[in-house]
Each structure stands twice: as C-alpha cells, then as structure tokens.
Amino acid sequence: MHICRPVRKRVHRHNMRAQPQAGGRNKLRAAAGHCTVQFMTVVLNIAAAGGRPALWVRPWLATDMPDLLAAMASEYPERGLWSHPDLDVPGQQKWTGPRNEEEAAVWLSGQERGWEGGDWLTFAVLDAPENRVVGHVGLKNRDGGQLGIGERGEIGFWTAADARGRGIAPAAARAVTEWAFTSFGAEGLPSIMLVHDVDNPASCRVAAKSGYPFHELSPANPPHWFTDGHIHLAKAM
C-alpha cells in the first residue's frame, strides 16, 4: 500500500454554483501507485435557497468552539461529533462532542490531526449571514486509513437543534460529497456511504435529500453495533 503524505497547504474557495476548473491544482488528490496528496483549507460557499440561509462549509477553527459549546449545552448529541479515533485522551472519555473548553481544545486537536493525516476530514457548517456554527459534516475511510486510496468513504453529519428543519444538513452533505468526488476522482474515491439506525427516519430523509439513495439493510452485529441500520450510497460519476 502506498501511503500519501501532505506535501503543501493551499487555500481553495469553491462556489457551489460554479463548476470546478478543469485541471486546477488547488485540490486534494490521490492516485493509486504514485500517490500525491495536497492538503489545504477548503471553503465551500453554498448559496441561500428557500428558507435556508447561505452557508460556509470549512474545516473547524478555534473560533468556532464557543458556538459549538453553546449547541452542546442546549442538546448533547448521542453520536456524530466524535474526534479523531487515534486521539490520545487521558482516562476513558465517552463524550461524542466537547462539553467544556478543555474538551473543546482536545476535540479540535483531533479534527486538525485528521486533516494533517488525510484520514478524518471534518467540516464546520456556518450560517453565513450570522457567521455562526450550525452544523458539522465528517468524511472518513469506511475501513480506516487515508481517504482517496481507492476504498469506500463514509459521511456523517450533525445539525444544531435550533437550526434543524431548514435544509442545512442536506445542503452541506451534498457540497462535501461533490467536493470529495471532484477532489479524489472515481479511482481514488469510488463511493461514499451514509449509515444510520433504522429507527432514525430524520437521517433517512436527509440521506435522500443529500443524494444518497437507500442501498441495503445492515443487520445488527454486536458488539460492533447493536441495532439494524440503513446503508445509503452515493457513487462517483
């Protein structure tokens, strides 16, 4: 297996109303065999539509932590906001999102580690007019390891309680999916899964609106997961 390392950092702004420039080098890419990966700050600009505000989707920053902590205090999530799986956290932390400033610093360091290693790409979703965090999208290799090496990806999302029902999660998930397929190409990232418990119809609706049609049922498999799930699948074109 060829291991890709970050070679440089650049800034890439992608307006979701425009097509990516052909042949542009301001993207993250990986190819089998000789492997080159470029990591940079990604900013996806999503135009307002209907009752949904314009959105900015970009990697998490320290300045986002107050908004995130306020959302955690309002409603703490059962899942969806984990930090990097290899993060060295003292003790047995069971949190799925930061609950205080100390945990926020640890959580953010895990998101940064993911971008540096290319195996855990997470995005803050901001209400652009208010410049306020309203959601999260995460992308990883389904089987572990780096993204863009020809294996299936997996996407997840979270939306703050006071921002739900406005189409924010589907818009952000679609934007990240389009960016990922464009950046890695069909050879590097042939498909992306979206998985949720069968008793979560809201996530099922988000999946459909995000361009992830139902693919198959995933039966419970203790101790790895204890409930049946739906697997939705988007394929690179």
The domains located in the chain, with CATH, are 11-192 (3.40.630)
In this prediction, residue 206 carries a pLDDT of: 95
User: Does residue 82 contact residue 50 with C-beta atoms inside 8 Å?
Assistant: no
d(CA 40, CA 46): 19
Q: 121-153 burial, b if ≥16 CB within 10 A, otherwise e?
A: bbbbbbbbeeebbbbbbbbbbeeeebbbbebeb
What is the overall mean pLDDT for the chain?
82
Please give the C-alpha separations between residue 89 and each of 63, 69, 84, 110, 173, in angstroms, as whole numbers: 22, 19, 10, 10, 29
Residue 109 pLDDT > 50? yes
Q: Is residue 218's pLDDT more than 90?
A: no
Query: Which of 2-16, 28-42, 80-94, 122-136 has the lowest average pLDDT?
Result: 2-16
Report the pLDDT value the prediction gives residue 80, as an integer from 0 to 100. 74
